[in-house]
Chain A
Amino acid sequence: MNDSHYCPHTPEEIAEMLSVIGVAGVEDLFAPIPAELRAKTFNIPPGMSEFETYDRMKAIAGDNTQGITHYIGGGFYDHIIPSVVDHLSGRAEFYTAYTPYQPECSQGTLQALFEYQTAICRLTGLDVSNASLYDGGTACAEAAMMALRVTGRNKIVVDGCVSPFSRQVLKTYLFNLDVEVVEIAPLDGLLNRTELAAVLDDSVAAVLVQNPNFFGCIEDFTALAGQVHSAGALLIGSVYPIALGMLKSPGETGMDIAVGDGQCLGNPLSFGGPSFGFIAAAKKYIRNMPGRIVGETVDRNGKRGYVLTLQAREQHIKRHKATSNICSNQGLCALRGLIFLSSVGKEGLADLARLNRDKAEYAKAQLTAIPGVTVLQTAVTFNEFTIFLPKSADAVVAGLLDKGIAAGVPLGQYYDGSENCLVVTVTEKRTKKEIDLFVKELEVALCN
């Protein structure tokens, strides 16, 4: 069968091409592959039309439970996405191009990435940003490796309040290198600063914290930055971009490197990806940054334009000495992030942050009105908070899922002795009506 419209040649054209090449048949072109090595089986099912394909995919998506109301986060958040994000990032000139190696015919991508880098710098209060990394977890790992290069040291200290997923990714990246990872166990949902001070010596390359942390708690790390710098180490902060509409920026805090996941900026949940990771740093560290960086310059006529710059850091030139192995990043997702941030804008991001916190505080007040449900009184939170239930959170969450509510992330599997703790996320998308229903259902679940 030779009917694929994705392979357009007619038999006549194929014959003509073969005669130019000077072979009798297409199979002759595979002669360099020794006969004994040729595939003996190829068990892919027969193909189908695009219509049947779509129906099949629809059936598969239909095997997921539809319409679950999300109070779960853990790094991915159910936020609004303005219509312009899909429409503009869906311009084929953006999504069917590749890495802008040839700047003259890639100014669209290059300028967009320069604008993206600018947005990330302004959001984080730091000087330089790259053109995106894979996701929030790998961004933590890349930042840690950057700090190892900058300091020439071999120890990374990680706050146990950092997302357990990001901590795992970090450990995986470093597992076969001569690097020690020290984890500080959380203290009441916050960084244990006494413990940290005890391990902060001149072998530490960086301290990694998260704000707000996995429990939802907000901390001021300004004093910590001073302490970390006195030890000659770098402070890396994993941050939540929507919260930066309100919270002190990494730059104001004195952090050296800021990282995070950009899913919340205009990228759908999509069962975990694609999203993008971002990384920003103080200018003096730019040569140690991983990945693509776009820079401004001029053309032969003095006209402003944009190019990939500082490429001598990268794998295609420096090979095993490169600052990272990253090649393809998450360009289109970063573009979505830029369009999201430009649509919401300066005032809008502050409003959106406030809206998130207002909804979460309302939910927190209602939930803690349920007898036996409490929160940490000391914890200041953004749009996520940890509640203590009078019974195992696992059973409660499983029960509420049956009612179409993803009630939160139970902490038991991530922190010993936290079986009754539940991290609840409330974004701007949750209505008062939904929240009230959630509260009612949780109350029922706790009575059973």
Chain B
Amino acid sequence: MSMYFTKEHEWVKVKEGIGAVGISEHAAHELGDITFVELPKIGAVVKQFGVLGSIESVKAASDIFAPVSGKVVKINDALDTAPEIVNESAEDAGWMAWVEIADVAELKNLMTQEQYDAYLKTL
């Protein structure tokens, strides 16, 4: 399964036309203890780099941007009651939504794991 990243620190894991979306471990660490994740509604159509949801910690709030365009087909309800999952497992159990990818060509606009790691060093 290939994983891609945005400059705003979201990731997408692609499998059979579906992209699982979340925020990177780096982003989760920067935010600190996450207190709330606002998820999109199932069926919502998102655009690449458009707002997918938002995430809050005690002293910060930021938007989550969609790494790919498409329709939201599943959301991680567990985050409603346990947003700390994002801190514990940002790039796995802390996934936020599944998006039915509208255009795989958009993945070209994202960074690979290697590119993202290099990008983090520049920050």
Contacts and interface: CB of A to CB of B under 8 A. Distances in A.
Instruction: Give the interface SS of chain A, mostly helix, strand, loop or mixed.
Output: helix
Interface string A312-328: 11000110010000000
A287 interface: yes
A311 B58 contact: yes
Contacts of A318: 61
Contact of B36 (A312, A317, A321): A312
Interface of A: 287, 311-313, 317-318, 321
A318 B59 CA distance: 10
Instruction: Give the interface SS of chain B, mostly helix, strand, loop or mixed.
Output: strand
Contacts of B56: 312
Contacts of B61: 312-313, 317-318, 321
A311 B59 contact: yes
Interface of B: 35-36, 56-61
Contacts of A321: 61
* Of listed B57, B58, B60, residue having the most chain A CB within 10 A: B58
15 contacts: A311-B58, A311-B59, A312-B35, A312-B36, A312-B56, A312-B57, A312-B58, A312-B59, A312-B60, A312-B61, A313-B61, A317-B59, A317-B60, A318-B61, A321-B61
A-B pairs, 4 with minimum CB distance: A312-B56, A312-B61, A318-B61, A317-B61
Contacts of B35: 312
Nearest to B63: A321
Nearest to B55: A312
Nearest to B61: A312
A312 B57 CA distance: 7
A287 B58 contact: no
Nearest to B57: A312
A312 B59 CA distance: 6
Contacts of A311: 58-59
B59 to A, nearest CB: 7
Contacts of A312: 35-36, 56-61
B13 to A, nearest CB: 27
Given A312-B59, A321-B61, 15 more contacts: A287-B36, A311-B58, A311-B59, A312-B35, A312-B36, A312-B56, A312-B57, A312-B58, A312-B60, A312-B61, A313-B61, A317-B59, A317-B60, A317-B61, A318-B61
